[in-house]
Amino acid sequence: MMKKSNFLILIGASILFLVSCKNSSDEFRTIKPDVLKDKIAGGWAGKMIGVTYGAPTEFRAQNKIFSDSINWKPSDIKGSMWQDDIYVQLTFLMSMDKYGLDAPSKKYQEMFAKAGYPLWHANMQARKNYYDSIFAPQSGSPQYNIHADDIDFQIEADYIGFMCPGMPQTASAIADKVGRIMNYGDGVYGGIFVGALYSEAYFETDILKIIEKALKSIPEKSDYAGIVRDVIKLHQQFPSNWQTSWKELEEKWGDVDICGAGSTFNIDAKLNGAYIVMGLLYGEGDPVKTLDITTRCGQDSDCNPSNAMAVLGVIKGFSGLPENMQTGVKAVSDSVFINTTYTFNTAVGSTYKYALDLIAKDGGKVTDKKIMIKTQLPVAPALEVAFPDVVFDKTVSIFDEKLWSFKGSWKPLEIISEKDKKVTRQSMYSEKAGDELEIKFSGTGISIEGNWYKDGGKAEIYVDGNLHRTVDTYYYFANQQHTTSMWHVLDLQPGNHSVKLVVKGEKRPESEGTRVYITSATIFKSAPKKSDTWKFSFEK
């Protein structure tokens, strides 16, 4: 009896030892230092190649497939030196250099806001918010940024994935901190998703598996995850015809962009993210085919092939890219990207250094001959939706006298064409304290559009008689002026509402005046989006 008992104990100990050994071997993934650096270089090279391949087509195909010829050559890679897809995210890398890996969001936002280059959409609003003392995460929230779902962070998150090999949790944590400077919900998920694509691509070559693993880093019920799953489904249904898949996807998801509401222009993160996935799946690992398909999907067609090609760059490594592409990158590898202190070579070196720091910080082991990365399983953040059930209704010009009422000395701003001397009324403006304008509408939301100018002043905005907030319309950062949404509210109860704007006659010190310029209003209503009910043709 005693011998049997000892035997069972010995068997149990052996099983425990075997399980322990298995867990120990699964706990780390190993990569050689030169391989890691080669893959990081491949990622950065992919960005440079992809953004220059698609640059001549950017937004030339809206709501349609780009069908013109694409005449790219490796020497065109030089153009990446002045592409915002690269220099904006290098600003964030420079923020890490200055303030460290654990720098708070406000430091990233500050350096980005004070950078001397123009910005657009969610990025521009995040800069404006910084100067209006609205800091992350509020600066990217739907309350203060109507571009919350836009593509901005998606095209600036590459460096995060590059420095997190096989570490999707670490990538997501950094993305959550930086992405909320300018985005929210699907806008943040876009950056998390592409970062996860790179993170997974270090140890996986099967593109579908990389995509499926990256999906686990974003909420399953998000629209972003839904559109990616739709691309996978369409690829399975039409494996040799991406054009048919594109048309099906466009029918379901083509009108979801709040920023471009009422137009064919679509800067939405998830639709453009779907084009990345479409290019990767139908490109089947071939760089030229991947670039071509992703670009021809249209819309932001320099950013999307840039992301897709960077995924292939990580999978293959720089040394695995076509020889002519390597040659094109090497030719400019010591040239400085504008608005930064970085070259391709120094960006690769810095990213590699940060990767080693993060690997060690997260429990990995780094030696001269071997890098052991502690295994991380992807974890999705809680679901958040920027604009639930918000759909476009109509746009109302400021010159539609039936819907607007004015009090005071409002005047039209007239623009004279240099070509034919034709006079166009561009906006209505006032600079006198107490002047008012009002619009009455039926719906659940409204955006007041106008000009952010160097002589912009302040105004109070009232919703249904109650002060909502004060806006400051000054903007002349990087010598840039813009026509944009100056204020919005999108969560009203269904029904009739009024919005009144009152000029304060006040300004910030750097503004040249107190003028408030208004161009239009966009009205929104609440309704189920078509993407919630649409069925693909093969499902009907």
pLDDT block averages, 10 residues each, the chain of length 540: 38 36 65 98 98 97 97 98 97 97 95 96 98 98 98 98 98 98 98 98 98 98 98 98 98 91 94 98 98 98 98 98 98 98 98 98 96 97 96 96 95 88 92 98 98 97 98 94 95 97 98 98 92 90
pLDDT of residue 530: 82
Q: Is 476 part of a structural domain of the chain?
A: yes
Q: Is 72 part of a structural domain of the chain?
A: yes
Q: Is 381 part of a structural domain of the chain?
A: no
pLDDT of residue 65: 98
pLDDT of residue 528: 87
Mark which of 374, 405, 434 sits at the end of a domain.
374
Count CA within 13 A, CB hemisphere, residue 12: 6
pLDDT of residue 419: 80
415 shares a domain with 368: no
Q: Domain range holding 432?
A: 390-531
How many structural domains is the chain composed of?
A: 2
**Sheet strands (E) in 281-384:** 365-366, 371-374
Q: Is 19 part of a structural domain of the chain?
A: no
Residue type, 529: K
Can you say how many angstroms the Cα of residue 32 is from the centroid of all Cα atoms in its chain? 32
Q: Is 536 part of a structural domain of the chain?
A: no
CB-CB contact of 309 with 291 (8 Å): yes
Q: Is 4 part of a structural domain of the chain?
A: no
CB-CB contact of 110 with 133 (8 Å): no
- b/e string for 18-46 if b means 16 or more Cβ within 10 A? eeeeeeeeeeebebeeeebbbbbbbbbbb
Mark which of 322, 349, 374 sits at the end of a domain.
374
pLDDT of residue 309: 98
Mark which of 345, 374, 403 sits at the end of a domain.
374
> Domain holding 254: CATH number?
1.10.4080.10
168 shares a domain with 141: yes
> Domain holding 519: CATH number?
2.60.120.260
For residue 401, with 0-12 CB atoms within 10 Å meaning exposed, 13-18 middle and 19 or more buried, which class applies? exposed
Q: Tokens standing for 433?
A: 């304290």
Helices (H), 186-255: 186-201, 207-215, 223-237, 242-253
Residue type, 532: D
pLDDT of residue 6: 42
pLDDT of residue 256: 86
| Residue of 435, 446, 431, 433 lying closest to 516 (CA atoms) | 431
What are the residues whose beta carbons fall under 8 Å from the beta carbon of 507, sequence distance 6 or more? 456, 457, 458, 472, 474, 513, 514
pLDDT of residue 329: 98
